[in-house]
Structure 1
C-alpha cells in the first residue's frame, strides 16, 4: 500500500463517522444554519470521495475519466463554499451573512461553469489523449477556486477562534492548520498545472509535495470540525461513567437503609439484581435517586445515631443504629448530621456518601 492509498483510507475512516455524527447533531438542532453548513461540508466531502476513486488513481495534471472528475470537483468546490458559509453565518448577522453568501456564490458558479464547459467540449477519447489545454483549464478553474476558498476559510477560522468557546476555538485552530496546508497545497497544484501546460517536465518532488499537503489538510479539516462535538460527548461520557460508578459504590449503604426504610424509595418498582447491575440506561436518573434515597435514609436513622456514644467509626455506629431501629427501640426526635459534605453540590454529597458506603461495606452486617 503506497502513501497515497494509505492517506485515502485514513480519510475515509475519519470522514464517514464524522458525517454520521454531524447528521445526528443536525437532527437535534434543525434550525441551526451554521450546523447545516458544517454538515453540508462533510456531505460534499463524502460525495467527492468515491468519485475520486472512480476517476482512478491519478495525480494532477494527469486526468482520469472527465465526468467523475467533474462531479468530484463540483463537490469539492461545494465543500469549500459550505465552509465559507459556516463562518459567515457564525460570525455575522443573518441578513449580512446571506448577502455575503450570495457574493461568495459568484466565484463558485464561475469555476463550475468553466469545468462543465471543458467537460462538454472534451473529445470522447481515453484520458491519456485528452487535449493538454482542456485538462489544464479544467484543473486551473478548480484549483484557483479551491485555493481561494481554503485561504479565506483559514483567515475566517483564525479570526473566529479568538472569540469562540474553548472547545470550539481548539477545533477551529486545528481546522485552520488544515486550511493553511490546503492553501499551500492548492498553490502547489496550480504551479504543477501551469508547468504541465507549458510543456515542461514536472519535478517529481513537486508532485509528491501536493499529496503530502492536500491529504493531511483534509484529515485535519475533518478532525477540527468534529472536535467540539466529540469533546462535548467525551466530557458527557466521563460524567456518565462517574455516575455509574458512584451508583454502584453507594450500593452497600443504600441496601441497608432501604431495608430499614423501604417506604422512602422514590421508585416503587422492585429492581431485578441482574438488570440493575448490567443496565447502562437511565444512569443519571438512578444516580440522583440513589443519592437522595441514601440521604433521606440517613436523616431517618440519625436520631438512633445521636443517642449512641460519639466515639468510634461512623460505620460501626450506623450499624448499631440500624440494629436498634430493627429492634424497634424507643428513640428521641432530635437527630444529628451524618456524613456532612464540604461543598453544597450533589456530587460533594455523593462523595461523602461513597466514603461512608465503603466503610460500611467492611463493617459487620
Structure 2
C-alpha cells in the first residue's frame, strides 16, 4: 500500500483524477464520439496505471492467474491509445469516420490477440514477470512485450502526428495543452522504441543491452506526466478563468451599488421581480436595472450625456444628480430618450466599464 501512495504515484493519481473528472463533465454536457473517446482514453490510462501497482496486480493475478494483470495492463494501454486515435479521427473526418474507425480496431484486435497467445505460451514461472535479462530470451515473453510495444509505438506516433497537425488551427488557449500532450506522447514513443530495440537485440541477436531498457523508463514516465498535464490543462485553465470571472462580477456588482441605489430610489419599477440566482445572474441583473433606470431618466439629461460618461465621469455624475433632483421635483422634461452610454458598445460587458466609472464618481460625490 505504501508503494501505491508514493509521492510520484500521488501526483499521477491527482492528475488522473482531475483529468477524468473534467472529461466526465464534458461528456455529460456533450455526449459526442470525440468526447467519449477522450474520456475512454483517460480512463484506460488511469486503470492501466493502477494495475501497474504491485498491491493491485498481485490481487488480480491471484484471482485470474499469473500474468493476468500484465495482460490487462497492456490491453488497457492499447485500448486507451486506440480511443485517442479515434478521437482525432472523429474530430477530423466527420461523417466519413465510421469506416476509418473500424479500420483502427483491426490492429488493436491483432495486438490484443498476440499478447494473450504469447502469455499463454509463456512458461508459468515466467508469466507476469517484468521485462529484464532473466526473461528476455524466452520467446513468449519477448513476443508479448514486443507486440504490446509495437502497437504502443504506432498509436503514440499517430496521435502525436494528429496533435501537431491540429496545432496549426487550434485556438490559442488550447495550444499549450496540445503542445504538452504532443511532447508527452512523443517522449513515451521514444521510450517505447528504446524498449522495442532492447527486446529485438536481446531476443534475436543475444546481447542484453541494459542501457536501452534503462533509457526507456524515464521517457515513458515523463511522457505520461506531460500527456496528463496536457489533457488536464484546458479544464484547469477554464476553471481558473471561471473563478476569476466570478470574483470580478462579485466585485463589480458591489462597485455598481452607489449608482444602482440612486436610480432605484427614483424608479423603483426598474427592479426585476424574479429573484436572481447565482453570482453572474445577480451581476447582469444589476447592470440591466441600471441601464433601464438611466433610460427612464434620460429625458432630463443632455443629448451628449453618453459621451460625457466616457470622457468625464465626474461631470456625468454631476449631471446625473441634477437630473435626479429635477425628476424628484416633478419638473417637466423634453420627453425624448437620450443616449445614456457611449456609442459603440456591442455587449453588456462593454457597458459595464463606463457604468463603473460613473458609479465611482457618484460614490465620491456623495
Match of 2:53, SS?
helix
Paired residue for 1:222? 228
Residues 256-275 of structure 1 correspond to what in structure 2 (within 5 A)? 256-267=262-273
Paired residue for 1:48? 48
Residues 299-314 of structure 1 correspond to what in structure 2 (within 5 A)? 299-304=295-300, 313-314=315-316
Paired residue for 2:63? none
> How many Å apart are 1:166 and its aligned residue?
3.5
Paired with 1:86 and 1:338, the residues of 2 have a C-alpha distance of 50
TM-score (norm 2): 0.81
Paired with 1:55 and 1:142, the residues of 2 have a C-alpha distance of 23
Residues 161 and 170, structure 1, Cα contact 8 Å, conserved in 2: no
> How many Å apart are 1:321 and its aligned residue?
3.9
Number of matched residues?
342
Residues 190 and 219, structure 2, Cα contact 8 Å, conserved in 1: yes
Residues 80 and 150, structure 1, Cα contact 8 Å, conserved in 2: yes
Paired with 1:251 and 1:142, the residues of 2 have a C-alpha distance of 64
Q: Give the direction of change, closer, same or farther, for the CA distance of 1:119–1:201 in structure 2 (3 Å limit).
A: closer
Structure 2 gaps, min length 5 = 58-65
Point out the more displaced range, 316-325 or 113-122: 316-325
4+ residue segments displaced more than 6 Å: 128-131
Paired residue for 2:26? 25
Deviations 1:66-93 (A, max 9, x none): 2211101000000111111111111114
Paired with 1:44 and 1:282, the residues of 2 have a C-alpha distance of 36
Deviations 1:189-208 (A, max 9, x none): 112333454553443x4444
Paired with 2:336 and 2:88, the residues of 1 have a C-alpha distance of 60
Match of 1:92, SS?
helix
Q: Give the direction of change, closer, same or farther, for the CA distance of 1:146–1:163 in structure 2 (3 Å limit).
A: same
Residues 341 and 348, structure 1, Cα contact 8 Å, conserved in 2: no
Paired residue for 2:121? 121
Q: Give the direction of change, closer, same or farther, for the CA distance of 1:202–1:75 in structure 2 (3 Å limit).
A: same
Structure 1 gaps, min length 5 = 58-64, 272-280
Q: Give the direction of change, closer, same or farther, for the CA distance of 1:131–1:240 in structure 2 (3 Å limit).
A: closer
Match of 2:188, SS?
helix
Paired with 1:19 and 1:201, the residues of 2 have a C-alpha distance of 39
Match of 1:313, SS?
helix
Q: Give the direction of change, closer, same or farther, for the CA distance of 1:136–1:9 in structure 2 (3 Å limit).
A: farther
Paired with 1:255 and 1:94, the residues of 2 have a C-alpha distance of 55
Paired residue for 1:61? none
Residues 136 and 199, structure 2, Cα contact 8 Å, conserved in 1: no
Paired with 2:360 and 2:135, the residues of 1 have a C-alpha distance of 77
Residues 299 and 335, structure 1, Cα contact 8 Å, conserved in 2: no
Q: Give the direction of change, closer, same or farther, for the CA distance of 1:352–1:28 in structure 2 (3 Å limit).
A: same
> How many Å apart are 1:187 and its aligned residue?
0.4
Paired residue for 2:287? 291
Residues 80-229 of structure 1 correspond to what in structure 2 (within 5 A)? 80-95=81-96, 97-125=97-125, 127=129, 132-133=137-138, 134-197=140-203, 200-203=207-210, 205-229=211-235
TM-score (norm 1): 0.81
Flag the structure with more relative contact order, 1 or 2, with Cα contacts below 8 A and sequence separation at least 6.
1
Q: Give the direction of change, closer, same or farther, for the CA distance of 1:37–1:356 in structure 2 (3 Å limit).
A: same
Q: Give the direction of change, closer, same or farther, for the CA distance of 1:156–1:356 in structure 2 (3 Å limit).
A: same
Residues 243-254 of structure 1 correspond to what in structure 2 (within 5 A)? 243-254=249-260
Point out the more displaced range, 314-323 or 144-153: 314-323
> How many Å apart are 1:135 and its aligned residue?
2.0
Paired residue for 2:69? 68
* Counterpart check, 1:349 vs 2:351: yes
> How many Å apart are 1:29 and its aligned residue?
1.0
Residues 54 and 68, structure 1, Cα contact 8 Å, conserved in 2: no
Paired with 1:103 and 1:321, the residues of 2 have a C-alpha distance of 73
Paired residue for 2:62? none
